[in-house]
Structure 1
Amino acid sequence: MVLTLDLHEGLCEHCLLDYKRDAAEARAQGAARRADIAQTISNMLVTTETHLSEPIAERIEVISAEAVLGMNIFRDIGAAWRDVVGGRNKSMQDELRAARKSVLNELKREAAELGANAVIAVDLDYSEISGGGKSMMLLVASGTAVKLGV
């Protein structure tokens, strides 16, 4: 038996229209806010201690984002084969590239949630975690969330 809950039960027609209008406005505001954040953080990462075009008005805090990648057996076999014959391992490169983009986007989101409009001194650290016949890759992006401007 499936029990569904009607959230609109007991509302008059006028109240139901108000409820639907308010819900649509809230969705639109949420979409607009996400678009504003995306615009704000689109070009906000720098690896230097200062920003080239604007002074730093406030240093907020050090932030980081992490990704742990499981390298499956087929990638491990491919990597071992590349160790023997040489050359580049495209599948691992693609995985690392996707992880880098993911952690940098996560770093931007975290900065925006703190009210920052830039992240300075961005650093990427890669490490291998292995043992017990398993290998994983750890990627950490860190930086300082700041507000730019006067």
Structure 2
Amino acid sequence: MEMAWAAGFVDGEGCICIARQTYKDRPNVSHRLKLTVTQNNYEVLSELQGIIGEPSFISMLTRTEKMNRNSYALVYDSKHALSAIRKLKPFLRRKQFEADAAEKMWEEGMMGKRPGMKGWPPEVYQTREKWARKITRLK
């Protein structure tokens, strides 16, 4: 029952996305799977974190003039995001397609593996970028 509540909360307030990062000394983009839930109630995010049970962190967001309260973000990164998505997936409704795409990207894009001395071949970066664009279009 708790995991179903957590999935409903992620369906409404969460974001499954691929973070892209560029580096000055590298020609390719680095892709990282993320699951983020933003909320202005720290206790709710802490409860959600406990239910999902994967390593994560809660950060306080920078407050702007338009915000009347503090906001917080519960963030799962990389393999922990994948594990959290897999736990929530049976209960997800709105984010089901994004969860499927994230799993496929993880497998096809060889996420979570080390490239070695020569780095990844261009096909791996192309596969990752293809899935990152697909997940973005599902929003």
Same fold, judged at TM 0.5 (above): no
Q: TM-score normalized by structure 1?
A: 0.25
Q: TM-score normalized by structure 2?
A: 0.26
Question: RCO greater where, 1 or 2, for CA within 8 Å and sep 6 or more?
Answer: 1
> Over alpha carbons, which structure has the higher Rg?
1
Q: Which has the higher strand share?
A: 1
